[in-house]
Amino acid sequence: MTSPWELPDLVSLRLLVEALDRTSIGAAARELGVSQPAASERLRALEVRLGVQLCIRSPRGVRPTPAGMVVRDWAADILAGAERLATGVAALRAEQAGQLRVAASLTVAEHLFPGWVHALRRAAPDAAVRLEVANSAEVAAALGAGRCDLGFIEGGSAPRTLQFRTVMHDRLTVVVAPSHRWARRRPPRVTPAELASTPLVVREEGSGTRDVLERALRLRTRRPSAHGSATDRDPGDGPSRDPGRDASCGAGTPPFRTALELGSTRAVTAAVLAGEGPAVVSVLAVAELLGRGELVAVDVEGIDLARRVRAVWREGHPPAGAAATLLAIASRTGPTLRDTPA
């Protein structure tokens, strides 16, 4: 193996190439921004290090020796390779720092993410963001498959293969059209049994919204699921089961009746407005409709419909660069239960 002391540095190699191509040490020195005496001394040091005479100096300039021409061509190849290396590493660094793949559940994507990404643009103007919108179980699957760098899910729990942080709290509410019989009650209120026995407009299995509703009703109505009893505890803010399995109770009987099952909160809200039946949705999704009186919120006695919104990522791949910035923004700007209307 060649001794490190025999390996020339890139600056010396570039000086050699420039001097021989320009037939002038002075011109090469100006190109590299050094003095002519320093350039001459560096070329001599290169010849000593390599043990080969590389150039012949004369009052008319500098010309290569036969060995110097061969070394000049090798040096040019090395410099071109070093340039490719530097360019490639810069591109990789820019990609890692600037490209951010995010997967977010529907409520987060529609009502929270636009504000978060606007703040991210101010903090990291060059960040390129790609958003995949899915339900909470699908977000976890996207992370596991490596399709995204950071995810946001609602309710449920995170798989053991994922790490997470609670970035905010949300609350679900039962909503009905103003013409619905529950809206005429003073105050609008139902029991858990009444909610469970009334056909509802619901989200699809795997949705965080549906997960919270099922958990809350199982606790109150004590109807067993295929995955456990009504006394299953909320795993809280730590490693837990896959939300795709926990949120989806398709293998058992849901603790409610289904009038209509839809794949987005907007579709659920539209169905309620059309009089299809009550629904349980995030207050973030219906705040304006409630304020205008187009929907009516109905209280459910003794049921806690609060839920966490969590940022999730693969174990061993903590958020970095733009992902870390987005996580900080979400944690700082996300509303809490105190900020959310009941």
Q: Model-level pTM greater than 0.75?
A: no
pLDDT in tens, 146-156: 888 899 998 76
**Pairing of the two strands 128-133 and 279-282:** unpaired
Give pLDDT tens digits for 32-48: 888 999 999 999 999 99
Separation between Cα atoms, residue 236 and residue 233, nearest integer Å: 8
Lowest mean pLDDT among 11-15, 53-57, 241-245: 241-245
Alpha carbon separation from 110 to 157, 251, 279 (Å, rounded): 21, 30, 18
Q: What's the average model confidence in pLDDT over 62-83? A: 93
All structural domains of the chain:
4-96 (1.10.10.10), 105-333 (3.40.190.290)
pLDDT in tens, 97-152: 557 899 999 889 988 999 999 999 898 887 889 899 988 888 988 888 888 889 99
Whole-Å CA distances, 297 to 226, 273, 308, 342? 31, 12, 20, 9
CA 334 from chain center: how many Å?
16
pLDDT, tens only, 269-310: 999 999 999 999 999 889 999 999 999 999 999 888 888 899
Looking at residue 6, its pLDDT comes to: 66
46-60, 212-226, 249-263, range with the lowest pLDDT: 212-226
Q: Report yes or no: 71 and 16 within 8 Å, Cβ to Cβ.
A: yes
pLDDT at 5: 54
